[in-house]
Chain A
């Protein structure tokens, strides 16, 4: 390197005295302003306050809801009144499901089929019972079932009981033999009396 280059490269000169004061004051101004920092801080503050306000609102709403809901006794009553309906529905569905499962199982299907066959094979149109004077009376199986189940047995059949009792009395007092029409004859006899 030529000598003059070194001389120029290393050339020094004293700057004016006030230069540092200017630099210092400019640095002070930067320190005071610091806009980005303030903005960042204020943004954080804003988000923090928003979050806190949201939590507070949620808390208030929650407290308000708790205070306006029915008392615990009423609540229990409501639960007890609504719960069985739900349970009933559930149990009905469960029963249906269970029944379907039973019916659809091959073993049950065979049993049902055999019962059906048995009933159809031995199907009796009429049942002959002894009347009060020993005479034979033919009645249909349905009526016989109704008469038999009317003897204050469980489950009770309140609607039919009186009528059936009446029929029982007719049957017991009737000296005439019932015609093969069964139930209709009985009805006619009852209405005629």
Chain B
């Protein structure tokens, strides 16, 4: 299928799209501020995938390679939209991950809705660090910010998320 896509076989390309579109759209929704942005990222991401497919080395997982392209595309998109971070350094960078355990009880769609309530800056750092596993150094490099800013944005994101979850849980009770 990969070779077919490299050769420009449209059927093969559609097959690849059908296989990964839903997963990658999930990635796009996590990073994008709205559906339109998510659609743009999805479209742009697949174009990049087809353009760069011949560069793929079969050393790692193909899905991981595609996912990385989509994350990078989402970050680029984010950087274009948000020219400057609204930096609000906070003292406490060490908000425990256990504070977010309450999210475990929620369905994936609800978690997504809560995460999407975060501001773009918080959401980007949260996704990159908590979900993708990037270090603050990597995040700082990719977003063009300092490590300290990345840490404080993450702490802020967690704090906001915790409050949002608590509010949501109170509403459901």
Contact = CB atoms under 8 A, between A and B. Distances in A.
A11 B100 contact: no
Contacts of B17: 20, 23
Nearest to A31: B8
Q: Is the interface of B mostly helix, strand, loop or mixed?
A: helix
Interface string A6-28: 01111111111001101110110
B22 A14 contact: yes
B46 A23 contact: yes
Interface residues of B, number: 35
A12 B50 contact: no
B101 A2 contact: yes
Contact of B43 (A4, A9, A22, A31): A22
Interface in B2-18: 8, 10, 13-14, 17-18
Contacts of A7: 107-108, 111
A3 interface: yes
B40 to A, nearest CB: 10
B50 A27 contact: yes
Nearest to A4: B103
Contacts of A3: 103-104
A5 interface: yes
A42 to B, nearest CB: 21
Contacts of A2: 97, 100-101, 103-104
Contacts of B26: 10-13
A4 B104 contact: yes
B124 to A, nearest CB: 14
Contacts of A30: 51
